[in-house]
Structure 1
Amino acid sequence: MLRYIAWRILVMVPTLVLISMLVFAIIELPPGDYFESYIQELRVLGEQADLQEIIELKARYGFDDPLPLRYFNWVTGMLHGDFGYSFDYRMPVSDVVGDRLFLTILVSVLTIAFTWIVAFPIGLYSATHQYSWGDYGLTFLGLIGIAIPQFMIAIIMMYFGNIWFGISIGHLMDLEYLGQPMSWDKAVSIAEHIWIPVIIIGTGGTAAMIRRLRANLLDELRKQYVTTARAKGLSPAKVVVKYPLRMALNFFIADIGSLLPAIISGAEITAIVLSLETTGPMLIRALQAQDMYLAGSFLMFLAFLTVVGVLISDIALALLDPRIRLDGTRRG
């Protein structure tokens, strides 16, 4: 196991290097840069840009340097904790992300908890009561949850919230607390607002997880070892929980590789619709504006979380399921 972990960590280094090259190339691929887009945007608004300031910023951050040198400076800066400067927000990237990163992690962790808490009992019930009225009803609701996009659910809830209850759904806090330091009143406001985006974002994932858990558990319940356990007189609850449910959880563990980056990126489109103060809309804005340091730092962080998540899921799968061997050998 330790050999495998050490080898995977070594493989992560060239993987992240290749990803960093790809990210840098994608960001640099569109013609021009942030400053050209900024000048054009000001001209459309009928304003004039401070060309002297732009020339100084270009010189300071090496926009006139060759691309290989710019890539090298960007990567070495990140290794030293310098994620660059966000030209769109006029401040260092680490200061821009700040509160948004905390709120994104909070929303995503609560969404994952909501998804698992709801999906586990429903999926277990559907699998053990196959073709019952409850199974049909939950399956129907699950299909609706999968079919309707999250942003559409957000729009529907915003509409009916305004028409039926006269409330405005959106943001993660009252507007008076935006940009303010954390306080007790702000924390209470976040707690009052956060459950709506958690339910909206978690709906699709919950429905999909119910379907997958039901299918995996039904597959395990049809196997010979379950029939043998029943023949030995084990209680129905013990027959289901002891082995079939444990084996059906493999896909939950395998999803860790995608869950970790999802915690940071969040549901971008839904966050835009609901005007959430998370990192998703900021990432999209950075890509649109060619704010290379902000966008590049986000994408590299997501890549890092992905490779770490895949490693964690592989190790956890080997610990959960004795049929999985990390060294490629067969048991027995």
Structure 2
Amino acid sequence: MLTYIGRRVLLMVPVLFAISVVAFVIIQLPPGDYLSTIVSQLRARGDVIDEAELAQLTARYGLNDPIFVQYLKWITQILFHGDFGMSFAWNRPVSSLLAERLPLTVLLSVTTLLFTWIVAFPIGVYSAVRQYSVGDYVATTFGFLGLAIPEFLIALVLMWIGLRYFGQSVGGLFSPEFQEAPWNLGKLLDLLAHLWVPILVLGMGGTAGLIRVLRANLLDELHKPYVVAARARGMPERRLTVRYPLRVALNPFVSTVGWVLPGLVSGEVIVAQVLNLPTAGPLLLAALKGQDMYLAGSVILVVSVLTVIGTLISDILLAWLDPRVRMRYR
């Protein structure tokens, strides 16, 4: 087990390096840069452009340097000084923007993952054990609807229901009086009161997918010879299901830890725009649209690092759960 963990940790280093290079190159591919975007906006409004100020900003941010020089400056500042650079659009350190948005993004991702597991696990098991029952048909219908309905449409429906029948908007993660307030018990309770809506919206598709996967895997295991033999020896059905086939069928639950964060961030961009969530998704979208390369690259890098760490955790849990994974390295 330790050998397996050691190999996975060592593999993280080149993966993270490759991710940082690819992310920085991709955000540099569109023609121009942040200053050229600002110039085009000023010209569209008919404003006067100060060429000397543009030249000063270009020299300050090194926008005329080759791309590999810009990358080396950026990555060395991160590794040795923890400095992610300055955001052009916000005129603030990227680290302060990440400190504001990233904790809420991670909180939303973790709680959505827990919600997905808590809901999908009992429904998937019941649907497999009681195949072709009324409950199985209801769960199957729920699964198809959850996979078919776009998340932003669910968000719009919930907002309309909240406004139409309860007289309040469900957008955002805080009430207006807690938006700029320091953290205290009241703000925490207000966050929890608003958190269930994005959790429900973002977790709908994942929950429906896991129900289908768990049902299919468990049905496949329940008809295998070792289960039939244990049932023939008189083992109680509930104990048999929990001890053997369910443990094997749980592999998809554990293996989803790694990709849940990028999936939520990518799906959360549109949902966050609809629900006005102060998370990393809209920040990344605005940075990419405005070619704010340090902010966009930093968000992509941090999310990728969390994804790799999540994949490591899921691999370790999968090796602990399924002996076939760790036996390969013996």
TM-score (norm 1): 0.92
After TM superposition, the structure 1 = structure 2 runs for residues 241-256 of structure 1, keeping only pairs within 5 Å, are 241-256=242-257
Instruction: Check the 8 A contact 2:116/2:207 in 1, yes or no.
Output: yes
Report what 1:174 is aligned to: 175
Shift of residue 138 of structure 1?
A: 1.4
The CA deviation string for residues 20-68 of structure 1, in whole angstroms up to 9 with x for no partner, is 2211111111111011112222333454566555433322221122222
CA distance in 1, matches of 2:165, 2:171: 16
Q: Which structure 2 segments of 5+ residues have no match?
A: none
After TM superposition, the structure 1 = structure 2 runs for residues 1-332 of structure 1, keeping only pairs within 5 Å, are 1-48=1-48, 52-80=52-80, 81-262=82-263, 267-325=268-326, 327=328
Shift of residue 159 of structure 1?
A: 1.9
Instruction: Check the 8 A contact 1:85/1:93 in 2, yes or no.
Output: yes
The CA deviation string for residues 189-214 of structure 1, in whole angstroms up to 9 with x for no partner, is 21221111111111111111111111
Instruction: Check the 8 A contact 2:202/2:264 in 1, yes or no.
Output: no
The CA deviation string for residues 85-108 of structure 1, in whole angstroms up to 9 with x for no partner, is 111111000111222212112222
Q: Which structure 1 segments of 5+ residues have no match?
A: none
CA distance in 2, matches of 1:169, 1:237: 42
Higher mean displacement: 29-38 or 98-107: 98-107
The CA deviation string for residues 234-292 of structure 1, in whole angstroms up to 9 with x for no partner, is 22210111111110011111112202445666611111111111111111111111110
CA distance in 2, matches of 1:105, 1:310: 15
Across the aligned residues of Structure 1 and Structure 2, the Cα RMSD in angstroms comes to: 2.0
Matched position secondary structure for 1:324: helix
TM-score (norm 2): 0.93
Higher mean displacement: 310-319 or 83-92: 310-319
Matched position secondary structure for 1:166: coil
May I ask how many residue pairs the two structures share in their alignment?
329
Higher mean displacement: 66-75 or 12-21: 12-21
CA distance in 2, matches of 1:61, 1:127: 58
Instruction: Check the 8 A contact 1:150/1:201 in 2, yes or no.
Output: yes
Instruction: Check the 8 A contact 2:109/2:264 in 1, yes or no.
Output: yes
Alpha-carbon spacing, 1:307–1:194, altered in 2? closer, same or farther (3 Å): closer
CA distance in 1, matches of 2:144, 2:198: 20
CA distance in 2, matches of 1:99, 1:207: 31
Alpha-carbon spacing, 1:189–1:53, altered in 2? closer, same or farther (3 Å): farther
CA distance in 2, matches of 1:274, 1:153: 11
Percentage of matched positions with identical amino acids? 51
Higher mean displacement: 177-186 or 106-115: 177-186
Shift of residue 148 of structure 1?
A: 0.1
Alpha-carbon spacing, 1:207–1:156, altered in 2? closer, same or farther (3 Å): same
CA distance in 1, matches of 2:45, 2:108: 36
